Structure 1
Amino acid sequence: MKQVQAVMFDWAGTVVDFGSFAPTSIFVEAFKREYGFDISLEEARVPMGLGKWDHIKCVGELPEVAQRWLAQFGKPMDTNDIDKIYQTFMPLQIAKVAQHADLIPGTKSVVDGFREQGIKIGSCTGYPRVVLNELLPAAKANGFSPDCAVATDDLAAGGRPAPYMLLKNMIELAVDDVKTCVKVDDSIPGITEGLNAGMWTVALLLSGNEAGLTQQEFEAADTERLAQARNKAKDAFAMSGAHYQIDTVAQLPEVIADINRRLAQGERP
């Protein structure tokens, strides 16, 4: 009987860094430092989940950002500009990512429970390898250490929304059936990545990029505030094709149980 063999997690906003603030806040800082150009945190969040060079490019292509850039510099953003912002972004991200390695509540107990069931733990990220290498030991010290971790620049084929990082996880984990794999992510490119790989996909509504709440805001929020944030994230994921939508990783065991039920009935993603 087919059962879930592996769960593949995103990092920021999924298992660490509640609200996905490490990358977004540093994008804002990098634009400001390199060019004295202001972007908002909300603008920085729009392409979340992509590799970071592509993320900068996509921010620059947002209509309001492109208009302000043209007004300030008299020309559209080009690849040289993207390179310069990326080169400013990278040292900042390397230096600060470990400061955002606190686990999202429920992560350790959920992962420990999966391992007791024989489920393998994979991961991939929009971070490049040099950043992921800083995050891995910090997360391990806090109780999360996946069996496999693939960075966006590890593969020549490229990162999200293509499926290659997930397929690399499958190879490294020796998982033989893609329909027994689950991708968990707080971003639309990450969900698309999972769908392109042929996996079950789970979108996280409140712990990640789309809601944009800090952990403190999440824990202090009343029912109405959480409903507003949840609805905002649901609107963002409405056309994503995600098989499941839950608030945080803490609710994931119920999803895995349901996927196991569906697999046993012969369903596939």
Structure 2
Amino acid sequence: MKKINLVIFDWAGTTVDYGCFAPVQVFLEIFKEKGIEVTLEEARGPMGMLKIDHIKAMLSIDRITALWKNKYNREWNDSDINELYKNFENKLFKILADYTEPVPNCISTINTLRDRGLKIGSTTGYTQEMMDIIIPGAESKGYKPNYYTTPNAVPAGRPAPYMIYQNMLVLEEEDTDCVIKIGDTISDIKEGRNAKVWTVGILKGSSELGLSLEEVNSLSKNELKEKMEKTASKMLSAGAHFVAEDISKIPLIIDIINNKLINGERA
């Protein structure tokens, strides 16, 4: 009988760094230093991709392309991407260790899943060098998946499915119907759907919602509900099978998926 055996989580905005604030503030800074004022929405839009791909995606936004051309009297090019990325890395490495705190309910949820015999995998938009900072920081605070991989280790990062397949290979799961991918960005959802696994979007703490824990707690119930519904609609439109209010809902969603598998439904 088919059932979920492997749970693959994203990192920033899903299991650590509530709101995914480490990279977004750096994206804002590196463009500002080039005389280009980008919005939070533009900075967060490609979140979840390999970071150099993220920068290219931002530059490809029509408004930013026009601002760049107006500022420099030319189109942006690969040299600009590389310069921005180098600056991004330099700034991110200085702050990354401060953004490894597991999100609320992360540790207890992981423990629940492991008690059920499930394996915990992970994928990320961070490079290996960035994860060399994230991994020990998160582990010291109680979070350590069975396996992680980065875009460096596979042919392409998100939205390509290769990191999920790498998790399946190492953690010895051959059936995509028995895998669930959980993330906080549209790139995560596309990665999961491209891999043909069950795919879940996380709302609270997500880059897509874009709110800190303090902001979530200070909003009125109706304001928060409206923002979460908008984010949920975006994730479902991108192909998510489910959206979860937060990571604590994952065991319940797995129960629902297992019942679907019993009834012959497939990812």
Is the structural similarity TM-score above 0.5?
A: yes
Deviation at 1:90, TM superposition (A): 0.8
CA RMSD between the two structures: 1.2
Q: Which runs of 5+ in 1 are unaligned?
A: none
Aligned to 1:95: 94
Residues 35-44 or 185-194, more deviating: 35-44
Conserved? CA contact 1:161–1:193, under 8 Å: yes
Q: Does 1:187 align with 2:185?
A: yes
**TM value normalised by structure 1:** 0.96
SS of 1:242 mapped into structure 2: coil
- State how far apart, in whole Å, the 2-side matches of 1:176 and 1:61 are: 37
What letter is aligned with 1:3?
K
Q: How many pairs align?
A: 267
Secondary structure in structure 2 of the residue aligned to 1:2: coil
Residue number in structure 2 paired with 1:147: 146
Q: Secondary structure of the residue that 1:8 maps to in structure 2?
A: strand
1:266 counterpart (257, 264, 267): 264
Task: Report the residue type matching 1:167 in the other structure.
Answer: Y
**Are the equivalent residues in 1 in contact too, given 2:13–2:19 (CA < 8 A)?**
yes
Equivalent position amino acid for 2:4 in 1: V
The DSSP-based 3-state class of the residue aligned with 2:200 is strand
- TM-score relative to the length of structure 2: 0.96
- Amino acid in structure 2 at the alignment position of 1:237: M
Work out whether residues 19 and 213 of structure 1, in 8 Å CA contact, stay in contact via their aligned partners in 2: yes
Instruction: Give per-residue Cα distances to partners, 1:161-219, cap 9 Å, x unaligned.
Output: 11000000011111121110000011111111111111000011232111100011112
Separation in structure 2 between the aligned mates of residue 75 and residue 234 of structure 1, nearest angstrom = 38
Aligned to 2:45: 46
The percentage of counterpart residues that share the same residue type is 35
Distance 1:220 1:108 in 2: 24
Q: Partner residue of 1:249?
A: 247
**Structure 1 position 230, deviation (Å):** 0.6
Distance 1:235 1:257 in 2: 22
1:80 match:
79
Matching residue's letter, 2:41: E
Aligned to 1:159: 157
1:91, distance to aligned residue in structure 2 (A): 1.9
The aligned residue for residue 209 of structure 1 is 207
Instruction: Check the 8 A contact 2:236/2:243 in 1, yes or no.
Output: no
For residues 27 and 150 of structure 1, the distance between their equivalents in structure 2, rounded to whole angstroms, comes to: 23
Q: Distance in 2 between matches of 1:64 and 1:235?
A: 25
Write out the 4+ residue segments of structure 1 that deviate beyond 3 Å after TM superposition: none
Whether 1:130 and 2:129 are equivalent positions in the alignment is: yes
Counterpart Cα distance in 1 of 2:94 and 2:171: 30
Any conservation in 2 of the 1:10–1:124 contact (CA below 8 Å)? Answer: yes
Amino acid at match of 1:85: L
The runs of 5 or more residues in structure 2 that have no matched partner are: none
Question: What do the CA deviations read for 1:15-42 (whole angstroms, capped 9, x no partner)?
Answer: 1111111111111122234x24322222
Tell me the CA shift for residue 95 of structure 1: 2.2
